[in-house]
Amino acid sequence: MSFGLYITHPQVQIDPQVPVPQWGLSAMGRSKAELAAQSPWAKRLGRIVSSDETKAIETADILAAASGIPVEVAEHMHENDRSATGFLPPLAFEEAADWFFAHPTESYQGWERAVDAQSRIVASVFKVLADHDAALPIAFVGHGGVGTLLKCHLLGRSISRTEDQPGGGGNLFCFSLADHGVSCDWTPIEHWKGV
């Protein structure tokens, strides 16, 4: 049976001196991705499409090695644009993220608005799916914020952080390639058993 996945990159090496899109995976994040790559579902993937941010590409490369397929990089799959504030320490970031989801039509101190980030990620994913062979399992590898916005859209729900992934990254949700219905909620990538 075919399936679609949205996968968030796992833990990253945080460096306030490096632009966030260039952060790579931490040792823990890499280990988590390598465990997921050993799963039967990873070997079944027929296509992997990644954001162009370093941490997503590194995750996609690890998963792609399991099935021997190349990674495609898609435009406009990047995380919500937060460059206006630059790096925020964890507590300040969580407060900002709460505000971002609670006020989707407004900008948090110059951030991309949630409604705009949602339109962008939905358009990017559906552009890929438009000519995708639905018999091939596909994974989109990206970021938690826009992944949550995509999930809200697929569920037909308003933008809300209640749909956000738990625990810092390295999760997935599964959806049907036939009707795009979400068939499993956020699950750690190394624990998902597949369909």
Q: What is the secondary structure of 23-64 as a DSSP string?
A: --B-HHHHHHHHHHHTSHHHHH-SEEEE-SSHHHHHHHHHHH
By residue range, what is the domain housing residue 103?
Answer: 4-188
Strand partners, 174: 5, 184
Does some domain include residue 193? Answer: no
What is the model's pTM? 0.96
The CATH number covering residue 141 comes to: 3.40.50.1240
* Domains identified in the chain, total number: 1
Does some domain include residue 195? Answer: no
| pLDDT (tens place) for every residue of the chain, 195 residues total | 699 999 999 999 988 888 888 999 999 999 999 999 999 999 999 999 999 999 999 999 999 999 999 999 998 999 999 999 988 998 999 999 999 999 999 999 999 999 999 999 999 999 999 999 999 999 999 999 999 999 999 999 999 999 999 987 999 999 999 999 999 999 999 999 998
Gap between the Cα atoms of 21 and 112, Å rounded: 15
**Hey, is 6 helix, strand or coil?**
strand
Does some domain include residue 147? Answer: yes
| 147, two tokens | 């992944």
Does some domain include residue 54? Answer: yes
Does some domain include residue 18? Answer: yes
Gap between the Cα atoms of 8 and 16, Å rounded: 21
The pLDDT value given to residue 109: 97
The pLDDT value given to residue 1: 65
- Return all residues near 67 (Cβ < 8 A) that are at least 6 apart: 42, 43, 44, 45, 46, 48
Phi, psi (degrees; rounded to nearest 5) at 182: -75, 125
Does some domain include residue 194? Answer: no
Gap between the Cα atoms of 38 and 40, Å rounded: 7
